[in-house]
Amino acid sequence: MAAERGEHRERPRDALQAEDFVYREDELILQGVAWPSAALSRFDRALLGAWQERMARGLFRYRLQELPTRVLPGAMRLLAQLNVPRATERRRPQPVRSVTEPFSSRHFNFTLIRPEELLLRMRRAPPADGELPGAEHVLVAINVSPLERGHVLLLPEPALRLPQILTPQLLRAGLEAVLLSARPGFRVGFNSLGASASVNHLHMHGFYLDHPLLVETAPAEPLSPARGLHLLLRVPAPALLFYTAGSGLAELARDACGAAGRLLALGLAYNVFVTRGAPPEGSAGPGPGAGLRLLLWPRRPRFEPEEDAAFNVALCELAGHLPLRTAEAFRELEEAEALRAIRRPLLPEPEMRRLAADLARLLEDSAAAAT
């Protein structure tokens, strides 16, 4: 997350400066994105150019070098990366005791970030007919302890002091950010409180990882096809899967946040991962597919950091991307050990299936009530 600067004095709102990035709906790239890809969209050039400029200016906690990377032998194709500085230089997570803990200005929050850490102010342009307003802006800031190249935070206006509970507005902005990128490796995600979120101030992560993941192509079982909801089992961490071919992003964001809200009501934590991906029937090839996959993992909350583990279990790890803390773990970690750690906080499959069926009914009932 962003660095703690040794002071908790809030900065005035007008100190938060970022380049305006206004985008049109026709800039969302729905077709033609495939591995390997060297293409850059206007969004990619703006984000990566500003990110690299901040790296050159020394605004991160460490200079990110090319990370040693290997695919663990096994059916899940887990991707291990050695990132020692993130483990040693990252600020300690904020202490919390509830998945719905209110925002507190006593702890580090994003009103404290330096203006130069902000890259972009993203805003959807209104339609040409001007009948509907554009989206509220979302700020794009560097993550000063980056996982990978282009690792950023997507922030609603920090002065709103929103707690770390995902909203449809922020999630839709994240979905659109994935579609604005011409790179199949740009993903976004969210960690709730109790699921490895380290700051209780609303934010999503975005980052580039130039490797395909199994969660993008594995087949899923239908739960509520009308709502785009499926159950994804043959992956490192079984998940609820929402899928869209690129339309209905507002509805997808609403449904996914409705399901996430139900999890919080049950006392469960959750992680979210958004990537380009194949339809729920799956794909035999490594390509990301033309649609979007949104994975939602319900899990038992944990509020203490796992100091001695090879890795924390957050959105990346659940998706099959393992940033590792030590060279020993990078050399010796095997798939079976990694899968045990990844799956430990998740619900047993029978409980997961019952919960998935309940969420499918909830979404269908909500859709019926809205018509």
Would you state the structure tokens that stand for residue 269, as one six-digit string? 């934590």
Residue 91's SS3 state is coil
DSSP 116-136: GGEEEEEEEPPPTT--SPPPP
Which of 41, 6, 52, 271 minimizes the C-alpha distance to 151? 52
Q: Which of 191, 189, 177, 197 is nearest to 215 (CA)?
A: 189
> Which residues are part of the catalytic machinery?
203
Q: How far apart are CA 153 and CA 118, in angstroms?
A: 9
3-state secondary structure 243-269: EECCCCHHHHHHHHHHHHHHHHHCCCE
Residues 111 and 115: their CA atoms lie apart, in Å, by: 10
Separation of alpha carbons 182 and 34, rounded Å: 9
Contact assessment for residue 243 and residue 223, using Cβ atoms and an 8 Å cutoff: no
Q: How many CB atoms lie within 10 A of CB 167?
A: 16
Report the Cα 286 to chain-centroid distance in Å: 21
Closest CA to 241 of 269, 220, 217: 220
Q: Are 38 and 128 in contact (CB under 8 A)?
A: no
Give the SS3 label for residue 33.
coil
CA torsion angle for 352, 343, 202, 147 (degrees, to 10)? -150
DSSP-assigned letter for residue 99: T
H/E run at residue 296: strand 291-299
CA–CA dist 52, 299 (Å, integer): 35
- The Cα 36–Cα 26 span in angstroms is 24
